[in-house]
Chains A and B, each alone.
Chain A
């Protein structure tokens, strides 16, 4: 089973522009990408990103141990969005360096808890987390009802030109 992600270029640019904005105290910004699952039948699933929702400035927690922490209101609103739209949601943030990024220990500890909440709200869609660097993109996907994520085999930015970000070893 392989999972690939696709995002339209205009959306990708919008995400990058928003995440690049500075915040009063958070070192990083966070947002949520809406997504729908495609090709559920078969062994080549697709996650198709369709929209972006920035986390408002007042929904961050001032935590010096973390690049960015969002509060319960942000998570509740994300869950409500899942309920309202039936979309999946992907937590997205940016690490300011070049090359393939990696989820830090805080990301790996905290974000899956957010994903679990999203799964409760929308068990039939895929949810997960996306991480950008200055020039790369990776995604971890929890397929419907999955306990553990899979790594996106490829993330494609669909525009002029096509940009491919392949998982390590691909």
Chain B
């Protein structure tokens, strides 16, 4: 690539562009959030992608699926195809591996990444992705948004950006995941339903997530030194650290012990008689 293309981001530091170009990025979900992330990563200059999504483009996606066209919906284009096209239009030499399925169906390439973005629906999906990230020592940047309809009041738009780094507080430690929300979701048989979704909060969250990822990789701010949990208020247009960060335990994360890494294996043991 020419030096001109990235001259405006030289403030990221010497060697930063090389780190960016050599990092393998996994993106789970190429929907409203993931499509923003993919586009921005391509602009920044990332060259190695592994993208998972089992869906095709539909009319109802067009209000927010970055890169999707009317023609894509007519042709029932896979979302991963749209992702690859978005990237290649900016980075023709990028190595893009697409998986038109859930990441759980082909997890090995995801584990080989350097950093992953979680743009999935639902708490159970997030739990599973974080469990994999912890087991294979992968940093995970998770984004999500929701709109809650409240009787006789304007809807409430909210979202989150979470950076989960192995050894550091996890989504359970942060209180974002807990048995209650997982149970409630389980009782609905995990059906996220047709949740309200629009483009601009996805843009806010995705941009923030990309910024966090670039900082984690390049350390250009020299300030990112602890867990990130940002809450987005779409009604007030604010994004700020979640209040729960003030109450984090100082002990290591108990949910993902340090020795629970690698491919699982069962070991039988005989108790002493």
Contacts and interface: CB of A to CB of B under 8 A. Distances in A.
Classify A-B as touching or not with yes or no (CB < 8 A): yes
Contacts of B135: 38
A46 B114 CA distance: 12
Interface string B102-136: 00000011011011000000000000000000011
Nearest to A7: B137
Contact of B165 (A39, A87, A158): A158
A160 B141 CA distance: 13
B216 A44 contact: no
Interface stretch (A21-29, A99-107, A134-142, A161-169): A161-169
Interface in B152-167: 165-167
B30 to A, nearest CB: 22
B262 A160 contact: no
Interface extent on B, as a size class?
20 to 34
A161 B226 CA distance: 10
A50 to B, nearest CB: 5
- Residue among A38, A49, A86 with most chain B CB within 10 A: A38
Contact of A159 (B114, B167, B261): B167
A37 interface: yes
Contact of A8 (B111, B166, B218, B224): B166
A48 interface: yes
Question: Which 8 A-B residue pairings sit nearest by Cβ, starting from the closest?
Answer: A36-B262, A161-B219, A6-B137, A44-B112, A48-B261, A8-B167, A38-B262, A42-B108
Interface of B: 19, 22, 108-109, 111-112, 114-115, 135-139, 165-167, 215-219, 224-226, 252, 258-263, 265, 267
